[in-house]
A and B are shown apart, each in its own frame.
Chain A
Amino acid sequence: MKFLRMRPGYGEQLIAEGDPAIAEDEQRLVEEFRRQLDGGMWAAIPTSAPDGRREAEMVHAFEDIPQDTSRVIFFPRAAGGAR
């Protein structure tokens, strides 16, 4: 599983990678997930339906991430734009 983070002037950046089936990796991923959310990020998982449709799921806790997920994308939380 890869954690990617969108960054200004960079595009996406790999911030963590590991196999959640391995306890050590899982711990590292959980900590990184919490750090990102505490830092004001939103997390989403892009998914593919069998009919080819692409969707995305927002995740709020590490436990919500499906086992077979290959990547989680973090991006800054939304804020209201120009008033």
Chain B
Amino acid sequence: MTVALCATTIVVLALLWEVAMPWIDRRVEARRARRERRAAGAAPYDPGRERRAEQRARELLKSCVNEEEWGMYRDLGFLRVWGGQSRPQGARELQGVDYAYLVYPHKPIVAYLPQTGQLLNEYCVEFPDEARPYGTPRLPDSDDVLAKWMALKGDERRLISEANLHLPGRQVDTRQVQRDLWRLGRWERERLARASREASERSSRRAETADG
């Protein structure tokens, strides 16, 4: 009886050890990283500072993109950028645009076909600031989106050549992207409907003023 009890205790302890080891390892690793960061003089994580940084980044993004793009980012959390706009010949018209990108903060850029919704590729790209002023190389979310937007608009080929190319679904869930494309379509329809409603209200007000 005693032997069986001892054996059971040993087995239970061994199992607990197996389960607890990864958790203990993570805690030790996190503590070591914290100590190293403190020794290097890096400021600790401050949620208030990050929030203020993100607020500034949003203002900068808003001042660079047009009203439609800002609304898209504010309402949906991503931007659509048409492909092939930074051609050396300067072809800036949207006629014949046959692909586009979805730009998410700190996620790969997803290329797709607007006509069919077919996903083409994921372009994994980051803008790490190795100066790490607050211990992290990550830009605020909206700065990351703006950096991608400017690089795609200004030199699409260069950005894409720097990125790691993957098939869709590697990092961004394809179901989420399809859902986002559906949300984007609905958002655009609502925006168009609102614009035409406002235009007809304006014209009817003008007509009333002219009659009066």
CA gap between A77 and B150 in the complex, in Å: 12
Which chain B residues border A80 with CB–CB below 8 Å?
A: 124-126, 162-164
Tell me the residues in window 1-33 of chain A with beta carbons closer than 8 Å to chain B beta carbons: 4, 6-12
Cβ contacts A22-54/B at 8 Å (1 or 0 each) = 000000000000000001101010100100111
Q: Is A11 a contact partner of B57 (Cβ separation < 8 A)?
A: yes
A and B contact pairs by CB, cutoff 8 A, 5 listed: A9-B43, A9-B46, A56-B150, A58-B158, A78-B126
Q: A9-B50, A40-B130, A79-B128 are in contact. List 4 more A-B contacts (CB 8 A).
A: A55-B85, A76-B139, A79-B126, A81-B108
Residue of B57, B67, B126, B149 touching A81 (CB-CB under 8 A): B126
Verify if B66 is at the interface (C-beta below 8 Å from A).
yes
Which chain B residues border A57 with CB–CB below 8 Å?
A: 154
Tell me the residues in window 103-142 of chain B with beta carbons closer than 8 Å to chain A beta carbons: 108, 124-134, 136-140
Verify if B180 is at the interface (C-beta below 8 Å from A).
no
Closest to B159 in A: A78
Which chain A residues border B92 with CB–CB below 8 Å?
A: 49, 53, 55
CA gap between A64 and B179 in the complex, in Å: 41
Verify if B65 is at the interface (C-beta below 8 Å from A).
yes
Tell me the residues in window 64-83 of chain A with beta carbons closer than 8 Å to chain B beta carbons: 73, 75-83
Q: Is B155 a contact partner of A58 (Cβ separation < 8 A)?
A: yes
What is the interface residue range for chain B against chain A?
35 or more
A-to-B contact residues, CB < 8 Å: 4, 6-12, 39-40, 42, 44, 46, 49, 52-58, 73, 75-83
Residue of A4, A8, A42 touching B140 (CB-CB under 8 A): A8
Residue of A12, A53, A77 touching B60 (CB-CB under 8 A): A12
Residue of B124, B143, B155 touching A6 (CB-CB under 8 A): B143
CA gap between A82 and B172 in the complex, in Å: 12
Nearest chain A CB to B148 CB, angstrom units:
8
Which chain A residues border B131 with CB–CB below 8 Å?
A: 7, 39
CA gap between A46 and B63 in the complex, in Å: 9
CA gap between A73 and B154 in the complex, in Å: 12
CA gap between A42 and B127 in the complex, in Å: 10
Sort A-B residue pairs by CB-CB distance and give the 5 closest, nearest first: A11-B56, A81-B124, A9-B134, A58-B154, A80-B164
